[in-house]
Amino acid sequence: MFNRNRFLRKVAAIASISLVAGCGLLSDGDSDGKGPIVVGTTSAPSTLDPAGAWDGSWELYRNIFQTLLAYPNGATTPQPDAAQRCSFTDATSRTYRCTLREGMKFADGDPLNAQAVKYSIDRIRTINAPGGPAGLLGSLDRVQALGDRDIVFHLNQPDATFPFVLATPAMSIVDPDDYPARSLRKDDKVYGSGPYELQSYEDDHQAVLVRNGNYQGFANLQNDAVTIRYFQDSAGMVKALRDKQIDVTYRGLAANDILALQQHDDSALQLVDGAGTDISYLVFNPKDPWAKEPAVRKAVAQIIDRGAIAHKVYKDTVDPLYSMVPKGLTGHATGFFDDYGDPSVPKARKILSDAGIHQRVPLTLWYTTDRYGSETALMFQELKRQLEASGLFTITLKSRPWKTYVVGYQSGDYPVFGRGWFPDFPDADNFIAPFVGEHNALGTPYPSKEITARLLPHSRAESDRAQTVKDMEQAQQIMVDDARLIPLWQGRQFIAASDDIAGGEQALDPSTIMMMWTLHRKTSW
C-alpha cells in the first residue's frame, strides 16, 4: 500500500476549511468574475431523456432535473426536494403520498404540478426503453394526481424502498409539453426544474449549465454556472486539470493518475478521497453454451485473484469484493470468499471434472472502452492471464465503446461481459434487485424466484432496514451458489481539483453522484 500520510493531512486541512465556511472565508458563488467552474469526467450521458437511462447519465440529470425526493448535503435517507412533504399513509407501506411545493415551475416558466409528476412517471413505464429505468418501478401499481399539488403512489406490494426509488434521477420530472408520452426525445434539449438549466450540449464533448432562476428546492447554489467536459481517458482529463483548462475532475481517474496526484507535492492541486459503493463485476449470459454451465462459472470464480487485480491493475485504489453488496451497507456478506477461499487451480479443475468437462473451456470476455476508467482494458488482460494460466480456459477479449456496447449486451450478444454499478440508492436491495428477474438492468434474464418472489418482497415490507439483514444475506448466498454474477472490486471516489476550488468534499450524494452546486471558488484562506 502507498503512503497516504501527506495526502490525509491535506484532506484534513480541506475539511477544516469547510467547517468555517459559514464565517465568510469562502465565496458564495462566482462573484470573483472567474467564470463558470469547469468539471471534467469520463462518464458522458447515453441520452438526455431520463426515461431512457439507467446509467451514469444520472450525473447530469441530478443537476438539471428535479425529483420529488433527493439527498441534501449529509443526508443518507431521501428528503423532500420538489415535494414539500412525502410519507407513507398506511401501515403496510403500500400507499405513498407527496405534496409539491407551492408555485413550482420548470425552467421555461411552465407550471410543475401533480399532473406533470404523474406524466413523468407514467411515461417511463409506457416507453419501457431498453436499458431504461422502468425496472425500478416494479412495485408501482398506479399514480394518482389529486389537484395541482398532491400525488399518490399506489403500490402492488409493500415496498419500504419506494422513497429511495423516487429519489433516483431516473424519476426526474419532465415538462409534459416537451416530452412525448410514448417515445424518447432525440434532440439535445432539456426541460427540467433543477438547480441548473442546460444552456447547450455537445454530445461527448460538453454540457453548459447555468443557474435556473425558477428553481425551488433544497440546493443552495454556491456558483452561477458549471461546464461539464467529457474526456475519453484519465490522462487527457488530468492534463487539462494541470493546464488549468478545467477546475475539477470526477469519475474516471486512473490509478496511476491518482497515485501521481497523491505523491506529487503540488500546492496548486488537491485530491479528496471519499468512500464509495460502486462495484465492478462479470456477467455470464445463460444463452451461451459455455457460460450457461454452472461448473464453468464456478471454476472462473475459483480462479479469479481479486487481490492481484486490486494491487497490480488499480494500485490499491480499489478493494477486492466478495459479494454483489459492497462493504459499508447493511447486509453486506462475503460469500464468494467464504465459499471459494483463496484462488485455487486444483479446486477449479475439480469443479470442471466433476461436471464432466475435461477440455479447455473457450470463453469470450467483453468490456467497454470508455465507461469505467482507463484500467478496464488492463483488468481484462489480467483476467485473461489468470484464467489461461490455469490451463483450464482459452480466453478471447473483445471491446466496444459504451453506446454500442450497451446495445450488444441488451441483445444478448456477449457470452461474458464486464459491468460496473453505481448505486441508485444506498441500500443492499439495490445491489440485488436490479440484476434478477426476467427483465433486469443487464439484459440477461436471471429468474431467481426465491429472490424475486420471497426474499425481496419480504425485505421491502420492513421499514426498519436494519431488520432486512437475514433476507439480504440469503439473497447474496443464492447469487454465490448460482455464480451468474461474479463481483471483482469495490471502488472509492476521488475528486481532484485546483487549489482555489472548495466544496468537493460535500459534492457527493449517497449514490456518489456529484451535486455541482456545492462547488465554489475560495476568496481567501
The string of pLDDT tens digits covering residues 204-217 is 999 999 999 999 99
> Rounded to the nearest 10 degrees, how much is the dihedral formed by the CA atoms of 137, 140, 141, 146?
-120
DSSP secondary-structure letter at 360? P
Summarize pLDDT for 463-490 with one digit per residue, the tens: 888 999 999 999 999 999 999 999 999 9
Summarize pLDDT for 38-71 with one digit per residue, the tens: 999 988 998 999 999 988 899 999 999 999 999 9
Given a cut of 90, is residue 516 above it in pLDDT? yes
The per-residue pLDDT for 371 is: 83
Query: pLDDT-based confidence at 265, cuts 50/70/90?
Result: low
Mean pLDDT of 252-261: 89
Q: At what angle do helices 255-263 and 234-242 cross, to 10 degrees?
A: 30
The per-residue pLDDT for 507 is: 86
**Nearest-angstrom CA–CA distance, 248 and 38:** 6
Kindly list the strands in the beta sheet with 140-146, ordered across the sheet, starting from the edge strand earlier in the chain. Answer: 83-88, 95-100, 150-155, 140-146
Name the residue with cell 429468474. 447
Q: What is the mean pLDDT of the chain?
A: 90
DSSP secondary-structure letter at 314? T
Please give the share of the chain, as a percent, with pLDDT higher than 70: 92
Given a cut of 70, is residue 150 above it in pLDDT? yes
pTM score, two decimals? 0.81
Determine contact, residues 481/451, Cβ cutoff 8 Å: no
Q: Which candidate, 161, 113, 173, places its Cα nearest to that of 137?
A: 161
Summarize pLDDT for 343-367 with one digit per residue, the tens: 999 999 999 999 999 999 999 999 9
Given a cut of 90, is residue 442 above it in pLDDT? no
Given a cut of 50, is residue 267 above it in pLDDT? yes
**Nearest-angstrom CA–CA distance, 296 and 484:** 10
Residue 399, helix vs strand vs coil: strand
Mean pLDDT of 159-165: 95
The per-residue pLDDT for 54 is: 85
**Nearest-angstrom CA–CA distance, 118 and 10:** 47
User: E strand or H helix at 473, and its extent?
Assistant: helix 469-482
Given a cut of 80, is residue 181 above it in pLDDT? yes
Query: pLDDT-based confidence at 422, cuts 50/70/90?
Result: confident
Q: Which candidate, 510, 502, 514, 495, places its Cα nearest to that of 18?
A: 502
Mean pLDDT of 402-413: 90
**Nearest-angstrom CA–CA distance, 508 and 497:** 14
The per-residue pLDDT for 266 is: 63
The per-residue pLDDT for 34 is: 62
Name the residue with cell 480456459. 393
Q: Which candidate, 176, 79, 161, 195, places its Cα nearest to that of 118?
A: 176
Summarize pLDDT for 268-288 with one digit per residue, the tens: 899 988 778 899 999 999 999
